[in-house]
Amino acid sequence: RLAVVWHTFGLGQSLPAVNALDYRDYKERGKLFEDFTHISGFETVMQANSNAELVRVGTVAANFFPFLGVEPALGRQFRDSEDVPGAARVVWIDHDLWQRHFGGSPTAIGKTVELEGAPAEVVGVLPRDFELHLPAETFLVGRPQIFRPSRIDWANQPARNNTGETVLARVKTGVPFGAAAREIETIAAGLRREVRELDAADLRASLIPLKQDVVKNVRDGLWALMGAVAFVLLIASANVARLLLARGLSREGEFRLRASLGASRADLARTVVAEGVIIAAFGTAVGVGVAQASLLVIRTLQAASIPRLASVTLDLRVTAFALGAALLAILLSAVIPGVRASSAVLTPGASANSRVIGAGPALRLQDRVVMAQMALAVVVVIGASFMIQSFRSLMDVPLGFESERLLTLRVAVPRSGYATRPATQEFWRRAEARVQRVPGVVSVSGISLLPLTGDGPTLAFAYDEQTARNWETAAADFRRVSPGLFKTMGITLVAGREFVDADVIDLQQGGTRKLVIDTALAKMAFPGRSAIGERLQVEPTAGPNAFAEVIGVVNPIALLSVGASGRPQAYQSDVYSRVWLSFVIRTTRPPQEIQGEVRRALLELTPDIAVQDVRPMTDVVQNALAPVLLATKSMSMFGLISVALAGLGMYAALAYSVALRTRELGIRLALGETPGALRNRVLRQGFRLAAISLVFGGTIAVLLAAAVRVSLYGVRLSDPQAYAMAMLILGVAALVACWFPASRASRVDPLVALRHD
C-alpha cells in the first residue's frame, strides 16, 4: 500500500519530487489514504568526538518513521513539536555511524553531533537492518545516514513549480490502488485550477507503487534470468526423466517378475519415484550449497547496484522453494518412467528379451525428450546472445569523457570553520594547488556531483515565450564545475570556450551568469544557429541574474547512466562556493598509486575535513555497468549450462540407442556394411534430432521475442545474428555429442554383437 507521488510538468521533467505546499494539500485533501509523509536531503560534514565525515542527511516529516512502521533500536521517535521552525535540533543516526563514532554505546542517546556548523542532539538510533529504498530518480537523498525533522517554514516557501520533496503515501486498507491514484490526479487537477504557476507548467500527478518504482530498472533483467532458470530446470528435468526411462527400460524384466510375485502398479511406480527423490535430495543439497556461495560473492560485488540485494538471504522460505522446485521437477521427470514401470503388471513374468521389448517406443520417446532439451537450450542461448550483444553495445557507447588515468574523490569542509563564501573558495583553491603538487598530477578540477553516481539537480530554463510562460516544461541536468573541468575530464568542447577564473569572479560580484551547455540543449533552444552569446532564462521571474549567457557548447556525457539519452545538460562555474564537492584529478601515473598521496596532501591543509570515496573513475564506470554485467554473466552461465545439459542428453540418448542396437549393428557389419557407413548412420540420426530441435527452438525464441517487453540497449530482438550464433553453438555441441556414440558404433565387433543378449 506504499506509493510515491510523481509530478510531471508539461513535456519537461518528470520526477518523484513535489513542493512542500503540494505535500500539505495532498495530506489535507486525500480521503483514500491513511497518511502521507515526505523526505528530502543533502550532504554535509558531520563532526562527532573530533571525527569528521561527509554524510547523507535525510530531512523528514516527524511522522516519517511511524509511517514506515520503524521503531528505533535506541531512543525515541521525533515529536511534532520538533518539526517546526526554531525547534531544538534533533537527529537519528544509522547503526554504522553509531558504531563508528560512539562505539555502539547506549550513552550515544543525548550526545550531540555537529551538522552544518550547529549542534544537534542524538535522540534515536536506526535498527541495524533498516534500509531506505526510494526511486533512482530521487535526487539529493540516496541512502541517508542521518535523519532530522525538516522543520518546514510554511509561510516562506518558493513557487509551487520549485520541487524538492519526495512524498510517500499509504493507501487505506481495502481501497483499490487505482481509486487512490485517480484521487491524486483529481487533487492535482484542482491545484492546476487554483495555482497559476502549476497551471502554466501543466502539472500532472501520478501515484506509483513504491515496490514497482524501486525495482523498475532491474525488473526486466530479473524476469529474463528467472525465465532462463526455468528453462535450465526443464532441461535438467528432461535429462533425469530420460535417465530414469532408460533405467526403467533395462529393468522391465525385474518389474515383470515383481508383478508376478504380487507387486501392485503403485508399488512399481513408487520404486522409480523413490530413486528420483534420492537423486533430487542429493542434487538439491549440492545446489543450495552452490547458491549460498554464489550469493555471498554477488552480494559483495553488486550490493550497491541492485535494490535490496544486500538483504537477500537463503532463508527457510527460499530453501523450501528450492526443495519444492526440485521435488516437482523429479515428479515430472518420473511420471513417464513410473507409468512404464507400473505397466509391467499387465504382462507379468520374466522375459529373456526384456531389454528390447518396447525399446522402439522408448527410443522414440527419448528422441522427443532430447529434442525438447535442445529446443529449450536454443532459447536460453539466444537470450544469452542478446545479453552479450547489449553489454558490448553499452561498452562501445561513448561516455563523453576519458575515464582512464582519472582519480576521483569527495571532500567536504565543516560549515563552522568556513561559514563565508570567500573562506570556502580560498580553501578549495589552496586544496587544488596542494593536490597539483603531487607527483604525476596533470590537472585538478571540481564538480558538484560526479557522472554516473546518481540523479542530481535539474535546471529549469526557457528559450522562448512559450517555455517562459509554461515554466518547468524545459529542464536540464545541472552541474556546478570549476574552470578547467572539461579539459581535465577530456570532455570535447564543440564551440565557444571553457570557464575561466574571470567568470567565477564576475559571478561573485553579481555579473551575468554564464553557462556551458551540451549540443542537445543547443539544438533544442537555438536550432539552426550558433548558441554562443545567446541567452537562456534560468529563473521563473525577471530580475537580476534571471538570464544566463551561453559561452560554450560541449558534447553530452553519461551523467546518469551509460547509454541513456537523458535530459539536456548545463554547467555553471560556482562549484567552489559549496562546502563539499568532488575532485577529478588527471594523472600520468596509475590512479591507485597516488590515492594515499592525494589524501595526505588534503589532510595536511586541515585535519577537520572529510576525504572519502577515493577511487579511479574507471571504478565508477564499472559500478554503473554492474547490473548489466551481472545479468550478462548470469545469462551466459545459464546458456553454457543449458548447452552442456542438452549436449549430454543427446550424447546419452544416442549412446543408449547404440547399446540397445548392438545386435542390429553387428548384423549390419556382418552383412558387409562398412564402419564408416555405420558411423554416418548414427550421425544422421543425431543430426536429424538436432535439426528439428533447432527449428523448434528458434521458432519458440522468435515467438517469445515478439511477446515479451524486455528492453536491451542496442539490440533488436529480431536480430538474426543472435539466432545464428545460438544455432552455431548448439550445432557444434550436437556434433560433439553425436560423434562419440557414432564412433563407438563403428567399432562394434560382429562376433560379440551376435552373442549380445
pLDDT band at 348 (very low <50, low <70, confident <90, very high): low
* pTM of the predicted protein model: 0.71
pLDDT over 70, % of the chain: 87
pLDDT tens digits for 32-72?
999 999 998 888 878 776 667 788 889 899 999 999 999 99
- CA distances, 163 to each of 7, 9, 90, 140, 287 (Å): 9, 11, 25, 12, 49
Which pLDDT score is estimated for 249? 67
Select the highest-mean-pLDDT range: 327-331, 386-390, 426-430, 552-556: 552-556
Q: In this model, does residue 344 exceed pLDDT 70?
A: no
Beta carbons within 8 Å of 423's beta carbon, 6+ residues apart: 417
- Mean residue pLDDT across the chain: 81
Q: Looking at 196-210, 424-438, 578-592, which range is the least confident one?
A: 196-210
Which pLDDT score is estimated for 743? 80
Which pLDDT score is estimated for 306? 64
Which pLDDT score is estimated for 72? 93
Q: In this model, does residue 676 exceed pLDDT 60?
A: yes
- DSSP code of residue 18: B
pLDDT band at 356 (very low <50, low <70, confident <90, very high): very low
- The H or E element spanning position 177 is helix 177-194
Mean pLDDT of 326-344: 70
Q: In this model, does residue 515 exceed pLDDT 80?
A: yes
Mean pLDDT of 289-314: 72
The alpha helices in 346-420, defined as continuous H runs, are 359-396
Q: In this model, does residue 358 exceed pLDDT 50?
A: no
Which pLDDT score is estimated for 660? 67
Which pLDDT score is estimated for 257? 79
Q: In this model, does residue 421 exceed pLDDT 60?
A: yes
Q: In this model, does residue 736 exceed pLDDT 90?
A: no
Cell numbers standing for residue 680: 554416418
Q: Looking at 235-249, 372-386, 426-440, 500-514, which range is the least confident one?
A: 235-249
Q: In this model, does residue 124 exceed pLDDT 90?
A: yes
- Dihedral sign computed on CA atoms, order 115, 121, 125, 126: negative
Q: In this model, does residue 357 exceed pLDDT 50?
A: no
Q: In this model, does residue 407 exceed pLDDT 90?
A: yes
Cell numbers standing for residue 76: 525515541
Mean pLDDT of 353-361: 51
Mean pLDDT of 419-428: 80
Calpha distance 149→40 (Å, rounded): 10
Roughly what angle, to the nearest 10 degrees, separates helices 591-605 and 421-436?
Answer: 140
Indicate the burial class of 142 (C-beta count within 10 angstroms; 0-12, 13-18, 19 or more). middle
pLDDT band at 352 (very low <50, low <70, confident <90, very high): very low
Q: In this model, does residue 355 exceed pLDDT 60?
A: no
- The H or E element spanning position 28 is helix 20-29
Which pLDDT score is estimated for 425? 83
Mean pLDDT of 401-426: 82
Which pLDDT score is estimated for 649? 78
Q: Looking at 4-18, 143-157, 329-343, 645-659, which range is the least confident one?
A: 329-343
Q: In this model, does residue 12 exceed pLDDT 70?
A: no
- CA distances, 19 to each of 5, 158, 195, 714 (Å): 11, 8, 12, 37
Does residue 732 sit in helix, strand or coil? helix
Q: Which residue has the higher pLDDT, 690 or 710?
A: 690
Which pLDDT score is estimated for 301? 62
pLDDT band at 319 (very low <50, low <70, confident <90, very high): confident
pLDDT tens digits for 554-587?
999 888 877 776 789 999 988 887 778 889 999 9
Mean pLDDT of 448-453: 85
Judging by DSSP bridges, how do beta strands 33-48 and 166-171 pair with one another? antiparallel
Q: Which residue has the higher pLDDT, 197 or 342?
A: 197
Which pLDDT score is estimated for 140? 63
Which pLDDT score is estimated for 170? 94
Cell numbers standing for residue 401: 569523457
- The H or E element spanning position 45 is strand 33-48
Q: In this model, does residue 340 exceed pLDDT 70?
A: no
Which pLDDT score is estimated for 753? 60
Cell numbers standing for residue 260: 508376478
Q: Looking at 60-74, 393-407, 442-456, 464-478, which range is the least confident one?
A: 464-478
